Structure formats: structure tokens, C-alpha cells
Amino acid sequence: MDRSEKMKDIQEKLENGVRDIFSSDKYKEYIQTMSKFKSYSINNCILIASQRPDATYVCGFKK
């Protein structure tokens, strides 16, 4: 998978995550994720919540 395909995949996950968050009970999960990862952007929090809502620790991409 090349870089542009990865970016398209990430964008699709973000769009689906936003749709899910605001159309279901996932909004509460999203807020809980945001409270755990205050230093992360909204986009990263959406990705974290969509991939692993029960995450307690995440590592940066470069680590």
C-alpha cells in the first residue's frame, strides 16, 4: 500500500468515525477517549476511538 492509498484509507476511517460518533452512543465513548488523550488532535482521537475505544495508552507514529 503506497502513501496515497494509506492517506485515503485514513481519511475514510475519519469520515466514518465522525459519522458514527455523532449518530450513535459512540459520542460518549469519543468524549471519554478525548479526556484520556488531551494532547492529541481531534482527528487522532477519532482514529483512536474508532480503532480501540478502550485504549489507555498510544504511542506516536515516529516511536
Predicted pLDDT at 4: 92
Predicted pLDDT at 34: 83
What the block records as the C-alpha cell of 34 is 478525548
Predicted pLDDT at 11: 93
> What are the domain boundaries of the chain?
3-51
Which residue bears the cell 502513501? Answer: 3
Q: How far apart are CA 48 and CA 33, in angstroms?
A: 8
Q: What single string gives the DSSP state of each residue in 1-63?
A: --HHHHHHHHHHHHHHHHHHHHHSTHHHHHHHHHHH-TTS-HHHHHHHHHH-TT------TT-
Predicted pLDDT at 7: 93
pLDDT per 10-residue tile (average), the chain, 63 residues: 91 87 75 86 85 86 70
